[in-house]
């Protein structure tokens, strides 16, 4: 069962989780509320780097993943939307292949400080 944590807004200085909470090559999914809406984001880890994106494909707005925490394609190079196979660069969310080619995922600025992943 998915017990994802819900934050009230995403404001600067909020600690989302610890780096050690995310296995290398996997992602942690979180949610936040803004007004009456709930938005889902994910934190994709690669080594000591983490990238945060809204979990909504620019093609249709569908979530990118089908399995919890699994956003990368097989080679581990690109994020992939499982609905129609769009591929996105990990570091900036730019779509390099698929129906939303040239569009980008919505990225969130984060930093890692003392092992904590924090909204900038």
Helix (H, G, I), strand (E, B) or coil at 19: helix
Beta carbon of residue 49, minimum distance to ligand FES (angstroms, whole number) = 24
Beta carbon of residue 55, minimum distance to ligand FES (angstroms, whole number) = 11
Closer CB to ligand FES, residue 81 or residue 117?
81
Exposed/middle/buried for residue 16 (C-beta within 10 Å: 0-12, 13-18, 19+): buried
Contact residues for ligand FES, defined by CB under 6 A? 57, 59-60, 62, 81, 83-84, 86, 98-100
- Residue whose structure tokens are 């949610």: 31
Beta carbon of residue 47, minimum distance to ligand FES (angstroms, whole number) = 26
Cβ atoms of residues 22 and 50 within 8 Å: yes
Q: For residues 35 and 40, what is the distance between their CA atoms, to the nearest angstrom?
A: 14
Closer CB to ligand FES, residue 84 or residue 113?
84
Beta carbon of residue 20, minimum distance to ligand FES (angstroms, whole number) = 30
Closer CB to ligand FES, residue 63 or residue 116?
63
Q: For residues 59 and 82, what is the distance between their CA atoms, to the nearest angstrom?
A: 12
Closest CA to 96 of 87, 83, 84: 87
Closer CB to ligand FES, residue 25 or residue 99?
99
């Amino acid at each position: 069962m998915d017990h994802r944590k819900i934050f009230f807004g995403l404001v600067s200085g909020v600690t989302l989780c610890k780096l050690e909470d995310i296995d290398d090559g996997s992602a942690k999914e979180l949610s936040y509320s803004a007004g009456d809406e709930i938005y889902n984001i994910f934190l994709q880890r690669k080594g000591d780097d983490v990238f945060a994106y809204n979990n909504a494909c620019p093609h249709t707005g569908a979530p990118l993943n089908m399995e919890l925490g699994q956003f990368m394609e097989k080679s581990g190079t690109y994020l992939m939307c499982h609905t129609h196979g769009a591929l996105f660069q990990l570091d900036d969310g730019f779509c390099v292949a698929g129906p939303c080619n040239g569009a980008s995922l919505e990225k969130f600025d984060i930093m890692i400080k003392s092992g904590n992943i924090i909204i900038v």
